[in-house]
């Protein structure tokens, strides 16, 4: 186990775009290190390692898990492989930072979380937006200044261009817009409003791929509060949320995948006072990596730990069930 004075050495299971563009640069910019990368294609792993100055590469995920120089793994594999390789990493005694969603459903997320706890390793789901100072400020305003929050609306859509082999369109790999980007609005709504009681959703598959490429959903609360969420692959990029309360509102654009090299804002009107707050550029992926490493060092639970992943998946499961034609679904 790493101690508070150790730096973590990461192994990367897979060569996905999110690893290349965001998380590997974040690790490299932190006080921690990249030790190895693995792919099922050994040549691809070697090219990737050379590109990012990673010391070792492997042509099998299993080989990386046997590397004695690795303390933790980052898993950017397709959704349908997250649970398997998180479990196998835990069995190898490695801490795990796994891309969202942690698993295909809440039951699988529970099993993965239990295994990591049994093995004594830290597990964190990669919802990077939770670590941005703007998100922290929004939650502070909600807690201290908004009165009686009644509804939240949240959307994450982007154009998935004509790539029929994209894993996000593969039902066997837990694809679909809800799993890929809809999980962010679900997470945001739950963070603000707590756990909903019922869910309703409508979906459409514009690619005839066997997964949702558009989703619209409603989350219901026993006291009359509600939320509306949307996700999709068929429009231009939009990622925003708005929180409405009895005494005002907060609105955020570029809400989830915030740029690392530009300032971002939140706007609000609370008790008749209108304002805009600006946040300097920050790498929320680096903040995520550093939070994970701190939790490993301190044997602490990450903000987005396994328990949080299970709760998020329960809502996603209910939305998926509703979209299959069962109407409003109770969330267990």
Is the per-residue pLDDT at 1 higher than 50? no
Q: CA 291 to CA 199: how far, in whole Å?
A: 32
User: Could you tell me where in the chain the CATH 3.40.50.720 domains are found?
Assistant: 9-127
Whether 2 has a pLDDT exceeding 80, the answer reads no
State the pairing for strand pair 214-220/198-204. antiparallel
- Please, what is the average pLDDT of the chain? 96
Is 100 assigned a catalytic role? yes
In the prediction, which pLDDT does 172 show? 97
Nearest alpha-carbon partner for 277 in 140, 144, 168: 140
Q: Strand (E) positions, 170-211?
A: 198-204
Per DSSP (E only), the strands in the chain are 9-13, 33-38, 56-58, 72-75, 95-99, 123-126, 149-157, 198-204, 214-220, 226-232, 238-245, 248-253, 264-270, 273-279, 329-330
Q: Of the residues 56, 100, 132, 168, which is catalytic?
A: 100
Say whether the peptide bond before residue 101 is cis (omega within 30 degrees of 0): yes
Q: Which residue has the tokens 């837990």?
A: 174
119-150 pLDDT tens trace: 999 999 999 999 999 999 999 999 999 999 99
Give residue 163's pLDDT: 76
> Is the pTM here over 0.85, yes or no?
yes
Beta strands in 113-171 (DSSP E): 123-126, 149-157
Homologous superfamily of 129-285+314-330: Dihydrodipicolinate Reductase; domain 2 (3.30.360.10)
Which pair of structure tokens corresponds to residue 133? 């100072």
The CA-based angle 295-135-287, given to 5 degrees, is 35
CATH 3.30.360.10 placement within the chain: 129-285+314-330
User: Which CATH number is 9-127 given?
Assistant: 3.40.50.720
Coil/strand/helix, residue 75: strand
Burial class (CB in 10 A: 0-12, 13-18, 19+), 21: exposed
């Amino acid at each position: 186990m790493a101690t508070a004075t150790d730096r973590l050495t990461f192994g990367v299971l897979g060569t996905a775009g999110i690893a290349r563009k965001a998380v590997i640069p974040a690790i490299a910019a932190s006080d921690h290190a990249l030790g190895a990368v693995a792919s099922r294609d050994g040549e691809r792993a070697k090219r990737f390692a050379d590109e990012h100055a990673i010391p070792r590469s492997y042509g099998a995920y299993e080989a990386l898990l046997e590397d004695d120089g690795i303390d933790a793994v980052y898993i950017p594999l397709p959704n349908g492989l997250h649970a398997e390789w998180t479990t196998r990493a835990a069995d190898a005694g490695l801490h795990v930072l796994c891309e969202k969603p942690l698993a295909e459903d809440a039951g699988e997320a529970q099993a993965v979380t239990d295994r990591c706890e049994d093995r004594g390793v830290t597990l964190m789901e990669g919802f990077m937006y939770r670590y941005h100072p703007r998100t922290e400020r929004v939650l502070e305003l909600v807690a201290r200044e908004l009165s009686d929050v009644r509804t939240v609306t949240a959307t994450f859509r982007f154009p998935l261009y004509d790539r029929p082999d994209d894993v996000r369109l593969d039902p066997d790999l837990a694809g679909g817009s809800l799993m890929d980007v809809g999980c962010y609005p679900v997470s945001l709504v739950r963070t603000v409003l707590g756990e909903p009681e019922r869910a309703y959703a409508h979906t459409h598959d514009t690619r005839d791929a066997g997964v949702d490429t558009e989703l619209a959903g409603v989350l219901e609360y026993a006291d009359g509060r509600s939320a509306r969420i949307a996700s999709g692959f068929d429009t231009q990029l939009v990622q925003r949320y708005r929180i409405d309360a009895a005494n005002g509102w907060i609105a955020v654009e570029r809400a989830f995948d915030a740029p690392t090299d530009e300032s971002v804002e939140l706007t609000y009107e609370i008790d008749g006072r209108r304002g805009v707050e600006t946040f300097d550029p920050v790498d929320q992926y680096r903040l995520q990596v550093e939070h994970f490493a701190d939790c490993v060092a301190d044997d602490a639970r990450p903000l987005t730990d396994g328990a949080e992943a299970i709760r998020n998946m329960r809502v996603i499961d209910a939305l998926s069930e509703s979209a299959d034609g069962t109407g409003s679904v109770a969330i267990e």
